Amino acid sequence: MGLATLKEVLAGTRAMGYAVGAFNFNGYEDAQGIVEGAVAKNAPVIVMASVSAVKYIGLRQTAGLVKGIAESVNIPVCLHLDHATDVALIKEAVKAGFTSVMIDASAKDYETNIRETKAVVDFARIYGCSVEAELGKVGGKEENIVVADASATFTDPADVTRFVEETGIDALAVAIGTVHGFYKADPKLDFERLEKIAALTSCPLVLHGGTGVPVEDFKRCVKKGISKINVGTELKATFSDAVRKAVAANPESEFDPRKYVGPVKQACAEVVKGKIDIFGCAGKAWRV
């Protein structure tokens, strides 16, 4: 089918009451496994490369890898650059064929966030690429972006309308109490805030920090207007566990690397299938 844009995969999600899963990957095995999980559920899927994943794999290699995977399946696959702060890197990713980019200027003041985001939107539009931006600050650690608990700030509904209208973004990441990485205590989500934000804009809303969010909270978020849900840390842990198990299960004489990293595909696919069921997007591939 080839790559789809974020705008395409998120169209109609809120009206139909489901969210599309967005999963971070760091190499071939997890990227392939994520897409295989989505294929098994006939669901659209967003595969996300963080800035450090792109630096590890290589920008063009990342684009080529996911483009190849997307062309080999019959579901919409969106390739998204996650939490990018460097506009030059974003432009390179757009030119390399990413179909979605996130400009994360959430650490900057409101006016700067608007200005930088709008500049990225203007550039991405030329290439037909979608843009996600963030208002408020999601706490925790996402690769090289660390937001201490005290600095995390929830999205102020009063900031939303102008931000969405002036920037022209395709998706808005909101801070409503989730954090990046493993939770130290149960997350306390501000559903009332989410409801208020959703009432103010029809722009698709994004929930970051999906690892460790209880199933019922996910479902409530989707009901109240979340269209894209990001899961990263859980897949990293799944990747590592699968390799550890495979190493432990094989004799020392085994030297085929595929015996060690191959199981990552199935393990990641299983996680993705579970999330797709929770997010309600199984069987929605046809919509895009």
**CA–CA distance, 107 with 147 (Å, rounded to integer):** 9
**CA–CA distance, 237 with 274 (Å, rounded to integer):** 16
Residues 119-158, one symbol each (x = binds ligand G3H by CB under 6 A, - = not), give -----------------------x----------------
**CA–CA distance, 22 with 285 (Å, rounded to integer):** 14
Q: Does 230 bind ligand G3H (CB under 6 A)?
A: yes
**Neighbouring residues of 115: CB distance < 8 A, sequence distance ≥ 6:** none
Let me know if 256 is a catalytic residue: no
Strand duo 77-84 + 100-103: pairing: parallel
Element (H, E) at 179: strand 179-180
**CA–CA distance, 202 with 63 (Å, rounded to integer):** 30
Partner interacting with residue 30 (select from ligand G3H, Zn ion, none; CB below 5-8 Å by kind): none
Q: How far is the CB of 9 from ligand G3H (least distance, A)?
A: 16
Partner interacting with residue 76 (select from Zn ion, ligand G3H, none; CB below 5-8 Å by kind): none
Return the residue of 82, 134, 170, 217 that touches ligand G3H, per CB under 6 A.
Answer: 82
Interface residues for Zn ion in 224-243 (CB under 5 A)? 230
Residue with Cβ nearer ligand G3H (136 or 232): 232
Return the residue of 37, 136, 232, 280 that touches ligand G3H, per CB under 6 A.
Answer: 232
Q: Does 274 bind ligand G3H (CB under 6 A)?
A: no
The closest alpha carbon to 84, from 29, 37, 132, belongs to 132
- Applying CB under 6 A, the residues found at the interface with ligand G3H are 24, 82-83, 142, 180-181, 208-211, 230-234
